[in-house]
Amino acid sequence: MPDRTVVLPASPPPADVHDVALLDLDGVVYVGPDAVPGAADAVAAAAARGLRCVYVTNNASRPPEKVGAHLRELGIRADDADVVTSAQLAAGILAGRLPAGSPVLVVGGEGLLDALAAEGLRPVRSMDDAPQAVVQGFGPDLGWRELAEGARAVRAGLFWVASNLDLTVPTPHGPAPGNGALVNAVAAAGGRRPDAVAGKPEARAFRDAAARAGSRRPLAVGDRLDTDLEGARAAGMPGLLVLTGITGVSELLRCPLRARPDLVGRDLAALLAAHPEAVRDGDGRGRCAGAAVAVRDSGLVVEEPGDDALDLLRAACAAALTLPASAAGEEVEVDPDPVVAAVRAREPEAEWAR
């Protein structure tokens, strides 16, 4: 039997294997105000199989009550306690360092204000209020004055917590600047980087969410390699990448080892489906079901497209993600265009074929 390297392991339907799914929100459950098509039905069907969904979001703009209400408006049965935000995690870090009632400068929105108050801290908006730390998180109405005040606090040497470093957030019109981009602006003006980051990909975000849910067999689910999947690996739990948000074919095929998913699916219906194995065979070809992809001169060649575009992508992962650069945890230099073209030929409307 020829040597073979398993890149994406076979799995029964995740809803039959795991007790809790730690779902990202933006790009997984909804995009902007609208649900990802089929998300509500998939969550309900997973719940019917005994899989509890907990929602772990890096977006610090809204408190859990408003996130929970939004989910219910979209037809998803969710309690407010099922929502874990990076604002809560950031406030928890500060509560562990500061005396109760301490003033904290907020560069962000309502989610941070509520999270700090819940931890017994006092949110303020000005350095004139003598804050003892500064916390920064995404807010859609965040403006120059708030960023300037944050830079002032950073230059003064205050302990600085960022809710997350996501450079972009998904919107109905494509990626838009996220908290990481705004943190970079404050860092450029303040002359240093944050002292702590609360949300994903920090392992604590995943472990805390799993512990809150009492999970023994958690599964992390997200649309981003650099936060959701990298954080899942850091936390030592399996990760499912869904292709309804930021990550598409090209990014996945250049995925470093530290962010490699265990499972790949089109959308949350992947919680309900069995996942085939993707392997690199002894001849260097990636294979999954009836699809086969080879690497030649740093380019991917589709030898057998198979019957399913997702199996083709899995086969391409098996070929590309076992290259030496990937094994070292660095970006792989392969040309993904042949796979992108083959996926589009199979599924012309697939938004993830990019």
Question: Which residue numbers are catalytic?
Answer: 24, 26
H/E element holding 279?
strand 278-280
Query: How far, rounded to the nearest angstrom, does the alpha carbon of residue 54 sit from its chain's CA centroid?
Result: 14
The string of DSSP letters for 229-262 reads: IHHHHHHT--EEEESSSS--HHHHTT--GGG--S
Max CA distance (Å), the chain: 72
Distances (CA, A) of 320 to 260, 284, 298, 305, 314: 12, 10, 9, 16, 10
Distances (CA, A) of 180 to 4, 115, 162: 39, 20, 9
Distances (CA, A) of 28 to 130, 220, 260, 301, 308: 40, 12, 17, 30, 22
What residues contact residue 285 under an 8 Å CB cut-off, 6+ apart? Answer: 292, 293, 294, 303, 315, 319
Query: How far, rounded to the nearest angstrom, does the alpha carbon of residue 265 sit from its chain's CA centroid?
Result: 14
Provide the Cα torsion 261, 267, 269, 274; round to 10°.
-30
Distances (CA, A) of 129 to 21, 56, 121, 194, 210: 41, 32, 13, 21, 37
